[in-house]
Structure 1
Amino acid sequence: IDSSGRIYVAGYTNRGTGNDFAVARYLSNGALDTSFGVAGVAVNSFSTNDQAMAMALQSDGRIVVTGIFTSDFGTVRYNDNGSLDTSFGTSGFVRTPMGTGTDTATSIAIRGDGRIFVGGNAQFGSDFDFGIAVYNANGTLDTTFNGSGRMMTNIGVADRATSIALMSDGRFMLAGRSDGNVAVVRYNADGSLDSSFASSGVATINLFTSNDGANAMRLQSDGSILLAGAMGSGSSSDHALMRLDSNGDLDASFGVDGVVQTSFADDNDEAFAMTIGTDGRLLVAGRTMSASGFDFSVARYMLASNIAPNAAITGSTSVNEGSTIALNGSSSADLDGSIVSYEWDFDYDGVDFTVDANGSSTMFSAANLNGPASRVVALRVTDDNGASTITFRTINVTNVAPTVTIGGPNNGLRGNALTFTADFFDAGSQDTHRLRWEFSDGTVMEVDASGNHASINHTFASAGSFSVTVTVIDSDGDSSTAQMNVVISEPQPPPPPPPEVQPVRLVDDPQNPGKKMLVVDGTSGNDDIRFRMHGKKVEVRYNGRKIGVFNVTSRIVANGLGGNDRIIADGVYVAVQFVGGAGNDTLRGGRKNDSLDGGSGNDKLLGESGNDLLCGGSGSDTIHGGAGNDTLDGGAGRDHLHDACGRNSFVYDSEDWKPKKKRR
């Protein structure tokens, strides 16, 4: 019966060509569950003679059925809908030879780690032995068990195991019959016999004479072992219920010397199954013979000893990596007392119980788990008499896709590199990541990511609107994408260089429209600039080099700028305007009305002929007017102003020396 109250029944059916496995599922009201198999029944053929003998339900809802495939152990796993689970064995089933004759699997149990234990008997000629096969969750034999995944135990000649029970510490037990007696064997986790049990791991019990056997077994929380079967001689038998202590001896406190015998009719009564009800009483079912044949038989017994509590877990069976879910054990119950402790193991291996949390409820965290994966969570409840029960469920850890954001400029220039960034987060702390960058100009780049931040440079070869997409992919294949747009413009051409200013140039004279003036600029160093007539034109020599001959119709303007400059107008018949600038300059005018300005420094100015204006500027200057009516201005400093022919004007201060007017 599953947690939904649905009832599963397994056996076999004959469809005219041999026996086939048959599994039926009923709703809690007894009606066939039509969502299972075909109209509530799944029938499958695996060999010429297939008989299902035992069944167990996994925590994830799948059904495991075992029995016989012609002459070998045969085990099948079904999905919840009744279809074969093709992830198990070969297309949903596994066939395992045990002996050399007919081998029959009669019992099954599943550990918390998913391993499947199948018990039965193996035939070797006329001899039958207890046999057990242990499978991994995928249906392969568990070779860590006895090296091959299989184990046989020879007790007598006719040894037949009918039931199996798993202990929480990894040990397990098989029960059945051996040569007419009850036989119980306890094994260590590796398959070796547990020598602490009975005689070297094997207990044989003679209840009557020759027809004793156990068909069902149940372990109690105090280590006691309940067995149900038959006791008798020849073809006559009664229901037999017995209890052994943890050492393998009959428990004298149970029934009469450890045995309860129940007769339903004169002949052939036998118990095949038992369970402890929610009220703590023991139910035993079997058969009895009447005059019309065999009938069902059911008996209920009171168990005087403490009843172990019932453990139950409620809550979700799946959690996203990095998240938590709530689990609750408060629906656990103790029929004859109270539960005093709740203990949780968040990674139960089916053998060792490690306490990770306490309390009737807890939070299961997947903060450090990497999905997809699964964990077995176990709850152990203990009552006020020290009895405990463990239940477990599988929690599936789901992978969560990473999230990503993209950053970068929204504008750029063709041919210029742009930097784009990606920041991402993944709840799976153990995931690794790969980034895929896609640019709508056709460029695609993939890189492995380190940490949660990455950047990349890209240059667009043309202008326009483009998209930039980044996809982060985790190591489980899940991904997330972010996108942005960028507008690329053509770069502006650089401004043209300013026109080069020639040091000597003939230009229009703004003061004399229609006339041309010659402009000469010196340098910041020491310059030698000379002008002389070349016919009716003016020849220019610049720092010892002849520049050319120019047709000057207005005037000559020369600027020495910095340095100790010499600017000479040698007999030029064109008015000149010379400015020496900073430095100790020598300026000499021509034959027209000239303007000479020495600027700062100790300058020498010679007006020559014409009505000239000579300004020394700051510094100790020497100024000669020359012929003509000149104006001499020494400026600041100790200047020497020299007269010559003509009517001259002097501008001087107290430091200047002015000659007396010559008599004419």
Structure 2
Amino acid sequence: MNTSTLSGSVPNPTPRAATGKMLVDVGGHDDYSYAMGLQPDGGILLAGYSYDPGRRNYDTSLVRLNADGTLDTGFGDLGKVVVDIGGSDGARGLSLQADGKILLAGLSANDFGAIRLNADGSLDTGFGVGGKVTVDIAGSYDQANALAVQPDGKILLAGNGHNGANYDFSLIRLNADGSLDTGFGNGGKASFDDGGHEFGYGLALQADGKILMVGQSGSDIGVIRLNADGSLDAGFGDGGKAILDIGGEIDIGRSLSLLPDGKILVGGFSYDISGDYYHYNFSLIRLNADGSLDTGFGDGGTAIVDIAGGNDQGHSLVLQDDGKILLAGFSYLPDRGAYDFSVIRLNADGSLDAGFGGDGKVTVDIARGYDEGYSLAVQPDGRILLSGLGNNSASGRYDFSVIRLNADGTLDTNFGALDDGVDLVEGSDGDDELLGDSARELLLGKDGDDRLDGGAGDDTLDGGAGRDSLSGGGGADLFRFSSREDSHRTASEGFADRIRDFDPAEDRIDLSALGFSGLGDGRNGTLAVQVNGAGTRTYLKSFEADAEGRRFEVVLDGDYAGLLDDGQLIFAPPRLEGSAADDDLIGSAAAEILTGADGDDRLHGAGGDDLLDGGAGRDRLTGGSGADLFRIANREDSHRTASENLADRIRDFDPDEDRIDLSALGFSGLGDGHGGTLLLQVSGERTYLKSFEADAEGRRFEIALDGDLAGRLDSGNLLFAAAPLEGSAADDDLIGSAAAEILTGADGDDYLHGGAGDDILDGGAGRDTLAGGSGADLFRFSAREDSHRTSGESFADRILDFEAGTDRIDLSALGFSGLGDGRDGTLAVQVNDTGTLTYLKSFETDAEGRRFEIALEGDYGGQLSADAILFAAPNQLEVIGSVPPEQVG
């Protein structure tokens, strides 16, 4: 356990619609956090233990969060560091050096253990052996529980060591390089026996260099004070020791803090035994500088607090700048039947502060499981952080957990996981069993052959890679597939996911990320529905394999023949469209396209990987969970003038997942806001992307993002040009996203699907299948032989979803003059007898007998004109950014 406060200022957190809580799964198995540290830039470090099933041991683990509670993916391995010191090990204490390096202390194979990391999470090889130190105290079971860095750079570790008969208070002091400081105690070690078991938990340094340590001595609170050389300070307590019985059957000190007047606050818990039951309560005492009880505090120097009638354990104590006292830990709530994080705040005299939580007490349920708080910190702005471990009732595992409270004890909803009403239940790379309950949940299986059961809520289930078993349970559930290879079969083996309880009356299957155009015969970008002979299973399948022989397939238990259509199967993101008024558009768990049109609109994507385009007006955009794309289609859609602000505002931009599509605006990148660039500017709790170049009406582009995102916006999340997706000489599947993209198939019989953006699709050579998806798409043909037929065979490309009036076909490189009878350089338009295919064709062959031809699914007789088809036109409009050139025909 370690307590810390920040000096100086930290960035303001990103205002977000969040829960105030964050769970972090470090290694896919049980993770326990016991220590926390705050960095000067607002970063939050959580340290503890993570289980490694391969070694069947625990390792030391550390995560870093940004100021808003999200993982800092630039630290360690995507925000996480796991270190094997040797044997079973873990961290109980954390401290920051002045140079930004990070020290962790705990145990390693029954010895004191410490590691030092660089600021990026890598081991500091200048410390100990390869960044690690282990110290045997007395040849038996030793564990460090607290850590402090002296002003001279020397490092103190405090805890307990076993002398062969019982445990003793134990400390060691290391030099800055990790070697034992032989000027301290006996060769760098100091142990103190008071006749029974002594366990050390907390550590503090006085300004005069003396050292205070608190813990348990027998059945009482034990506090010792040492001189700087490691000897007991005879001026404190009884020969350097203050042993305090405060009335409990057993009293334990877990944390201490020094007051400006030299008095000492100790926090912990006390418990009594009544029959076969233990009853714990938070306890605090205040000592005078000489170790005697200060009777001016609480009741004769002691304050005992029962939180909610159950068992309470106080583990971390912090003194606020105003003199008020925080003690945090965990409490059993009889009405919930589980332990929750708990915090109390006392006035300086030991009475409860009614301005905190209404009665001086706050409890917080992290994940509807068993939660334990161990480390407390107060930020300079008065907000309160409490970290520990939370048992995720859905996954059944313990995760690192942290909450942030406002100064009044309410949860800070600018911090932590997004509050879209959906709880995340996340698996590992192994074979997981993820179980939901009555809440709305997003169950993500990742790799492995997973079993997902949503329980009773309206859940979203995504098995990820592997052969997964999916049960939605009660409620209207969404089964989502994010990649074709996540559920597939080959010529010889099946890796298809299985949906156990699909209800066509309320459940849906989200296939919108896969690029299929709809139901059909399983070819040309469609999916076939097949039922086995026994009527016990229904298959959704494609017969088109990728380069590795994989073809998409998913299995549903039961006979769904005739029951699957666009009501249950989502092939393209649904559109929610606004009007000229001020609209509120709210999405669902699926991926959707939200377009606000005119008016001052509010768009909220909720779950799913959504596209949000506010259109004209001063719009407020919230993506919710998922990897969202915020698209600005025109500069005037988000702008300001010299006197008026009409800029859109993005409320919850996540730079690690979300993107902003600026590709239609013609800006070249970030810069000073001049010369076609955008300036990134932070002011208070907002980040601005702005141009200083106004149009003829005095409008200059600007967009605001909530939070300080300095240093976190770059070409990875700001799209200034359409992103290219390129195929190979093989048969490729190129599937776009919600952004504007350029898809080029090269050789092979390719399948191109643009997704939701305004895309350019060029199949190249081969018999290609092209689907633009939503948006205004351009189908480009660069050579006549790229789409043709001969007298005996067709190599014509097929466009699946051409939308007249929105999409266009670019033939400007081919030399045709326009529509006609298919001769003398013209193209004929022909519709087949059934009205299912429209052909653009030439009847003039080249030297190899090839004549140009394209097939469009559907009847476009009378709908194809010079507006829809770009022929060889000599004049081009000015090119803005990456938008395809307009051609005047």
Give TM class, smaller chain: 0.3 to 0.5
More strand by share: 1
How high is the TM-score relative to the length of structure 1? Answer: 0.45
How high is the TM-score relative to the length of structure 2? Answer: 0.34
Bigger-Rg structure (1/2): 1
